Amino acid sequence: LPTPGTVEFKNVTFGYPGAEAPVLSDISFTAKPGQTTAIIGSTGAGKTTLLNLIPRLYDATEGEILIGGVPLKDLGRDTISRNISAVPQRPYLFSGTIASNLRFGAQEATEEELWEALRVAQAEGFVAEREGQLDSKISQGGTNVSGGQRQRLCIARALAAKPNTYLFDDSFSALDVNTDAKLRAALAEPTKDAAVIIVAQRVSTITGADQILVLDHGEIVARGTHEQLLETSETYQEIVAS
Ligand code: DGT
Ligand code: MG
């Protein structure tokens, strides 16, 4: 791949155009390859906004984001999309087949690679049961699969692209605790050299993360491992208790 996947935020502030107050203030962290960085915080804290800055859906108002040491603005859009797989909070499937949906961003993926991605995403079973399997039809917006299936297909799509940076926006909370745990265990191998950034609602999804950032009103109010935060962060304790 063109660049190593280290994602670095340096004093990033961001406000939506026209809005008075910034949504993110002075965010600094480094997400390293081979590590999982988790972001947790209440609704409206700015988690999705933070993730969306990485593939440049928006540009930082102040500060800088670098991937592999290169400022985002110096990386072409193409390089950015080849390096990053983002699973959005509201995952989207388009009208086509399961295979064409999975190959979005991974045109050259073989059927075997698609099945492997589905296996990791805990989606192999329900795809195998569908008539036509990889060639079965998906309707616009993915309305003919369940929300949880849609989420897992979008995770499989992200895996099929074999990027070096993964962004998961709340991708596991619609799954039952069991599937969530199985999926994350299966992700370890294919993402072992990638930088993985996970936004989570459920603490159990991220207890094993290498670092957890606690976001509150657009600021990182605490950071550390699960064990460290349990000792040091009241905000984190409240999230754990909720
Ligand atoms: P969630 O998904 O409900 O847990 O919340 P977060 O943490 O993902 O929050 P986020 O980043 O969606 O929103 C942070 C703040 O920014 C919140 O006050 C709503 C506001 N906001 C989000 N998207 C937009 C947008 O497209 N335009 C404007 N003007 N404001 C937005
Ligand atoms: Mg969000």
**What are the pLDDT tens digits along the chain (242 aa)?**
445 679 999 999 999 999 889 999 999 999 999 999 999 999 999 999 999 999 999 999 999 999 999 999 999 888 898 899 999 998 899 999 999 999 987 788 999 999 999 999 999 999 999 999 999 999 988 788 888 899 999 999 999 999 999 999 999 888 888 998 999 999 999 999 999 999 998 898 899 999 999 999 999 999 999 999 999 999 999 999 98
Assigned domain for 12 exists: yes
Nearest ligand, measured from the Cα of 201: 1
Q: What's the structural domain count of the chain? A: 1
Assigned domain for 78 exists: yes
Assigned domain for 118 exists: yes
Task: For tokens 């791949």, name the residue.
Answer: 1
Kindly report the protein residue whose alpha carbon is nearest to atom 22 of ligand 1. 49
Assigned domain for 1 exists: no
Assigned domain for 38 exists: yes
Assigned domain for 2 exists: no
Kindly report the protein residue whose alpha carbon is nearest to atom 30 of ligand 1. 16
pLDDT of residue 143: 83
Name the 3-class secondary structure at 119: helix
Choice from 14, 20, 23 to test ligand 1 binding pocket (greatest atom count within 8 A of CB): 23
Q: Ligand 1, residue 218: give the atom nearest the CA.
A: 14
pLDDT of residue 222: 97
CB 49 within 8 A of CB 86: no
Nearest ligand, measured from the Cα of 45: 1
Domain CATH for 116? 3.40.50.300
| Closest listed residue to residue 158, CA positions, set 55, 242, 69, 41 | 55
CA dihedral over 12, 13, 17, 22, signed as positive or negative:
positive
Give residue 190's domain range.
Answer: 7-241
Assigned domain for 191 exists: yes
Assigned domain for 171 exists: yes
Kindly report the protein residue whose alpha carbon is nearest to atom 4 of ligand 1. 43
Ligand 1 is surrounded, with C-beta below 6 A, by 16, 19, 23, 41, 43-49, 89
